[in-house]
Amino acid sequence: MLNANKEEEPVDKIEVTPVLDKVSSVEVKKAMDKIIRFLYEQEEEFGEVSNELKVLRGYVNELKF
């Protein structure tokens, strides 16, 4: 049995999720290199960042470019 008092939502209110392009390994390498360079340049301001740099360099080495 249908509820005659129930208002139905319009069909045109469908949510659309955008499809994002995949990030290429070249883009990742460029971004990681920039982050590493930035941290080297800012070391005095950030304090000791050698551990973070080691982690980032490890990620770069793990990626297959």
Judge whether residue 32 has pLDDT over 80: yes
State how far the Cα of 33 lies from the Cα of 53, in Å rounded to an integer.
10
**38 within a domain of the structure (yes/no):** yes
Q: What is the pLDDT of residue 22?
A: 93
Long-range contacts of 58-61 (CB under 8 A, 24+ apart): 59/32, 60/29, 60/32, 60/33, 60/36
**6 within a domain of the structure (yes/no):** no
Q: How many domains does the chain have?
A: 1
State how far the Cα of 31 lies from the Cα of 60, in Å rounded to an integer.
10
Whole-prediction pTM: 0.53
State how far the Cα of 30 lies from the Cα of 36, in Å rounded to an integer.
10
Domain range enclosing 46: 25-62
Dihedral sign for Cα atoms in the order 37, 38, 44, 50: negative
**52 within a domain of the structure (yes/no):** yes
Q: Which is higher by pLDDT, 23 or 12?
A: 23
What confidence tens digit (pLDDT) does each residue in 36-54 have?
Answer: 888 878 766 666 777 778 8
